[in-house]
Amino acid sequence: GDSVTQMEGPVTLSEEAFLTINCTYTATGYPSLFWYVQYPGEGLQLLLKATKADDKGSNKGFEATYRKETTSFHLEKGSVQVSDSAVYFCAPKELAAGNKLTFGGGTRVLVKP
């Protein structure tokens, strides 16, 4: 079945630093790719998505590009804020796998002022 490998956290950064969270996946076909974010005490929120190769998803200053050749969907932000402190989950979704999201273990990010 599908699987996801995310870099382990916690990742601790200073405000305005550059953030990268690596995500690679295995899939039998061409999944849609998602990043979800979970802020402290809150539910999962969609952060961004990409549905085909070379698509770039973006939202709130975050970006991720669907790289089919490396089966990766790395998340980046050029200048983080304290409010970006959260757990970030990478999740492919493949039609052949029954439309379910397959989540990575999550990466906790802590941004210090």
Partner 1 sequence: DTGVSQDPRHKITKRGQNVTFRCDPISEHNRLYWYRQTLGQGPEFLTYFQNEAQLEKSRLLSDRFSAERPKGSFSTLEIQRTEQGDSAMYLCASSLVNSPGDTQYFGPGTRLTVL
Helix (H, G, I), strand (E, B) or coil at 64: strand
Which one of 20, 51, 79, 83 is in contact with partner 1 (CB under 8 A)? 51
Q: Is 34 in the site for partner 1 (CB under 8 A)?
A: yes
Residue from 5, 22, 32, 58 touching partner 1 (CB under 8 A): that is 32
Whether residue 55 contacts residue 34, with contact meaning beta carbons closer than 8 Å, is answered with no
Site track for partner 1 across 66-105, x = CB under 8 A? -----------------------x-x-x----xxxxxxxx
Closest CA to 4 of 24, 21, 20: 24
d(CA 35, CA 31): 13
Any contact of residue 64 with partner 1 (CB under 8 A)?
no
Number of C-beta neighbours around residue 30 at 10 A = 15
**Which residues would be at the binding site for partner 1 (CB under 8 A)?**
4, 32, 34, 36, 42-46, 49, 51, 89, 91, 93, 98-106
